[in-house]
Amino acid sequence: MNDTMVTVVGNVATTPVFRELPSGPVTRFRIAVTSRHFDRARNAWADGHTNFFTVWARRTLGLNAQSSLSVGEPVVVRGRLRVRDEERGGQHWQSADIDAHTIGHDLARGTSAFRRAGKPALHSRKDRSTGPGTADEPEFELPAPGAAEEGSEFELPKPGAAEKGAGTADVEVEEGEGAEETEREQDAVPVG
């Protein structure tokens, strides 16, 4: 088991996108991680290079992340690093993904209030079908209408419920045909 585990501290850069897949709930968002250093010449702290990671939160973590995170909020993410290489249109692209094990607000930069969530009704393994998505890059599907029963102990989060952060551009992902390709293009950067 030679996984590369990372812990990154940064800001939520895109609105968390929630999808119900055959393998279970998944939430995806981007995190911006900017290094800081002390500039002795100016006697002040300065921002360094910003790295962007795509964070994948699955099952209960995904449900809670979508309900709890908004653009611009400071967060700490711990999980398995996965660097993707792909060829698109004759160009080589790379993106860095984190399969999150833990996500939380950075309390060094603000306060947060914890609310225990009810138990979500996850699909059993025998009810899951193998769809066109893969473990490396799930193909997002829209939740079925009425996926959350009214009055249930846990209701699925509504898309767009998170407030938009000031001064941070949101990335819009169109639903339907080509949505997966649009998401991949937003996550990857050309190499060389």
Which class is 5-190 in CATH?
mainly beta
Average confidence (pLDDT) over 98-117: 93
- Checking if the pLDDT of 81 tops 70, the result is yes
Cα separation values, 151 from 55, 60, 76, 126, 175, Å = 31, 19, 33, 26, 28
Question: In the chain, where are the structural domains located?
Answer: 5-190
Q: What pLDDT digit, counting tens, does each position of 137-184 carry?
A: 444 444 444 444 333 333 434 444 443 333 333 333 334 434 444 454
pLDDT number for residue 2: 82
pLDDT number for residue 103: 98
Closest CA to 63 of 117, 111, 140, 13: 117
The C-alpha atoms of residue 11 and residue 121 are separated, in whole angstroms, by: 30
The C-alpha atoms of residue 164 and residue 44 are separated, in whole angstroms, by: 30
pTM for the complete prediction? 0.61
